């Protein structure tokens, strides 16, 4: 019995991913992921820049991009991780017996959030720096994650297309970490909004470099949006410190980073390094969260 069409396409993506990483599978004319040159069917290295077409940051980045598909693969990956972590929150909250009625809309079990890596005093006291990353993939309820994921899908692909997937991942992780790095001194926090404010900040910086009427109008809307987030945060008690940290760091990155896709092998390789460093930092953070998940809670004998 043949597999459904969706699963056939999914298996083909997996085959392409692992073929790109390990050098197996069908041979066909290729585009070098480092410099963009057309290379031969049986080539293992690019004749223009010398990049390894089977193993390396460029080949792995291309394979992962094809695996997630679409024009914004990192945004898709971030969305998936947020949904998976929210499902873990729900299971933990149900196990703790803390979910009833419509509480899923705005309330998750605090112990579950702590174990899954919420940002709080543990960052400083226990040196659990991984919480600065894991906290940006946790949310306090269905309304919280719903709003944040709508914003992510709205502006994430714009920033990813502008800067390229690798640098976009770097921007997202760095601005989120800086946001929680500031807020951990004030109160516990979770949510993607620090990183999302980083994306808004970088777009404000980019549109400020352009003089067209469209750019000025977009900049005004982004600034109004940022002000609205701070006002709403003030009235509902949201983490405006993380919002500020994300917005400010995003604005600074927007001023110092080239606001276009990498155009040559040197720029692409630098972008790949930034993206992989950010991705590995996030991966290590999640591994540490799992390793510490069963730790005894502070204050519990």
How far are the Cα atoms of 23, 57, 96, 200 from residue 136, in angstroms, in the given order? 35, 25, 23, 16
Q: Which of left, alpha, beta for 28 (phi over 0: left; psi -120 to 50: alpha)?
A: beta
Structure tokens at 281: 């930092």
Q: Return phi, psi of residue 30, to 5°.
A: -125, 155
Residues 279 and 281: their CA atoms lie apart, in Å, by: 5
| Number of neighbouring beta carbons within 10 Å of residue 214 | 9
Which residues belong to the active site?
Answer: 193, 243
Contact 171, 177 (CB under 8 A): no
d(CA 140, CA 179): 17
Q: How far is CA 24 from CA 45, 156, 214, in A?
A: 15, 33, 47
**Closest listed residue to residue 29, CA positions, set 13, 11, 15, 46:** 46
Select from 217, 246, 216, 215 the least CA-distant residue to 229: 246
E strand or H helix that includes residue 130? none
| Contacts by 26-29, CB closer than 8 A, 24 or more apart | none
Per DSSP, the three-state class of 3 is: coil
């Amino acid at each position: 019995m043949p597999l459904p069409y969706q699963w056939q396409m999914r298996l083909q993506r997996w085959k392409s991913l692992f073929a790109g990483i390990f050098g197996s599978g069908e041979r066909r004319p290729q585009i070098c992921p480092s410099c963009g040159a057309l290379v031969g069917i049986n080539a293992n290295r690019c004749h223009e820049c010398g990049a390894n077409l089977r193993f390396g940051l460029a080949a792995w980045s291309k394979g992962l991009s094809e695996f997630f598909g679409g024009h914004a693969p990192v945004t898709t990956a971030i969305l998936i991780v947020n949904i998976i972590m929210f499902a873990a929150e729900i299971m933990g909250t149900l196990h703790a017996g803390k979910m009833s009625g419509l509480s899923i809309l705005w309330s998750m079990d605090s112990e579950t959030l702590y174990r899954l890596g919420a940002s709080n005093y543990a960052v400083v006291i226990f040196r659990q720096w991984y919480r600065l990353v894991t906290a940006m993939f946790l949310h306090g309820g269905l309304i919280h994650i719903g709003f944040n994921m709508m914003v992510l899908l709205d502006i994430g692909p714009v920033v990813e297309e502008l800067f390229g997937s690798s640098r976009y991942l770097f921007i997202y992780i760095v601005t989120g970490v800086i946001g929680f790095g500031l807020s951990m001194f004030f109160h516990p926090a979770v949510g993607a909004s620090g990183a999302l404010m980083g994306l808004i900040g970088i777009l404000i910086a980019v549109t400020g470099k352009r003089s067209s009427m469209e750019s000025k109008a977009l900049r005004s809307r982004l600034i109004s949006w940022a002000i609205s987030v701070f006002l709403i945060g003030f009235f509902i008690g949201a983490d405006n410190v993380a919002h500020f940290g994300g917005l400010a760091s995003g604005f600074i990155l927007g001023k110092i980073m080239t606001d276009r896709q990498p155009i040559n092998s040197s720029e692409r390789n630098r972008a790949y390094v930034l993206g992989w460093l950010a991705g590995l930092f996030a991966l290590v953070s999640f591994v540490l969260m799992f390793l510490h998940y069963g730790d005894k809670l502070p204050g519990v004998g």
